[in-house]
A = this chain, B = another copy of it.
Amino acid sequence: MTLSPSALAMVPFVSVDDMMKLVNAIGPAQMIAEIADYIEADFLRWDQFDKTPRVAAHSEEGVIELMPTSDGETYGFKYVNGHPANMARGFQTVTAFGVLARVDNGYPILLSEMTVLTALRTAATSAVAAKHLAPKGATTMAMIGNGAQCEFQALAFQKVIGINTVRLYDIDPVATDKAARNLANTGLTVIKCKTAQEAVTGADIVTTCTADKQYATILTDNMIGAGQHINAIGGDCPGKTELHKDILLRSDIFVEFPPQTRIEGEIQQLDAGHPVTELWQVIAGKAKGRSSADQITLFDSVGFATEDFSALRYVHDQLHKHGYFTELDMLADPDDPRDLFGMVRRANT
């Protein structure tokens, strides 16, 4: 027996509260590492995915995007907004939710908050890239931008890469204090820095995750030296970049999905033909990752639909292990599919 349509007509919903309970039950670093495994597994079957570019609705204040994908068996999409001015108004810059559905009958099988989950999957994706790109034995990471993504990145790199020291810098020292406080008792050595230059000094890995919607230069050319890995996650829409172009020209650049990254990533500053390597090819052994100790590697990350798919797939697999969900009456399910009208009218009696 398969599930009855009535059971399928109910959609499991993971609320923010459920997601926080799940993160705390598993542990944030552990959950990021487990999501990283799902992301890596899905990158390994890259060809199976329908790679539709995200659909963006831009406005003066920000952007609302739908990011769909499918592996032929399961379909997923994420709704996500990016509104840089939100923070000053007391809103999240990014909020998100996502859906998984069965391709064979089109029925949704999961609705989940993705504000928290996106933070986890972004950190997990950065860690997956760094496994292949960071210098061997890296111990120190500079973090430029200490906002909502910062601690997740730090824990991801501690758990997956083996970082033991983070050097924090933000234009707002309140953000740095917040991150330092949250990272106390994690086993990481946390160093608060007064300038970006100070933060990157001696760092094996440099993570940039700032949020201004403008062409910014968080890192200038002189700040980056031989052998460093740059994990650039803040530049993720047209007009929003963080790195000086000269850094890009000295780096070997790795991206998720070139057609999207050329529009949204740091490489929007470069010619459309500038060579980049797709991360999935590195993971699959089809292209080289880091090939020398002196090489500057850059992961120009903008976030891709398959990563959200992987994260949703992970959450779906946790539903019945942890039970943190409710059922939503979201799909009409008449006894006779042709009798939608009769179902509505009988509900009246």
Asked if A52 is an interface residue, CB under 8 A from chain B, the answer is yes
Interface size on A, residues (CB 8 A): 83
Asked if A1 is an interface residue, CB under 8 A from chain B, the answer is no
Closest residue of B by beta carbon distance from A155:
B341
Asked if A265 is an interface residue, CB under 8 A from chain B, the answer is no
Q: Mark A3-43, 1 if CB is under 8 A from B, else 0.
A: 00100110001011101110110001000000000000000
Q: Are A331 and B64 in contact (CB under 8 A)?
A: no
Q: Are B108 and A86 in contact (CB under 8 A)?
A: no
Q: Are B339 and A182 in contact (CB under 8 A)?
A: yes
Asked if A119 is an interface residue, CB under 8 A from chain B, the answer is yes
Q: In the complex the two chains form, what is the Cα distance from A292 to B156 in whole Å?
A: 70
Q: Mark A168-190, 1 if CB is under 8 A from B, else 0.
A: 00000001001001100000000
Asked if A115 is an interface residue, CB under 8 A from chain B, the answer is yes
Q: In the complex the two chains form, what is the Cα distance from A55 to B78 in whole Å?
A: 13
Q: Are A64 and B75 in contact (CB under 8 A)?
A: yes
Q: Are A105 and B81 in contact (CB under 8 A)?
A: yes
Asked if A77 is an interface residue, CB under 8 A from chain B, the answer is yes
- Chain B hits for A106, CB < 8 A: 61-64, 81-83, 86, 95
Asked if A249 is an interface residue, CB under 8 A from chain B, the answer is no
Within 325-349 of A, Cβ neighbours of B (below 8 Å) are at 328-334, 336-345, 347-348
- Chain B hits for A105, CB < 8 A: 61-62, 81, 83, 86, 89, 91
Name which of A96-104, A128-136, A159-167, A194-202 contacts chain B: A96-104
Q: Are A116 and B61 in contact (CB under 8 A)?
A: no
**Given A92-B337, A336-B178 in contact, is the A343-B66 Cβ separation under 8 Å?**
no
Q: Are B330 and A182 in contact (CB under 8 A)?
A: no
Closest residue of B by beta carbon distance from A178:
B339
Further 4 A-B residue pairs, CB within 8 A, beyond A59-B70, A113-B330, A182-B341: A20-B344, A24-B348, A81-B101, A86-B106
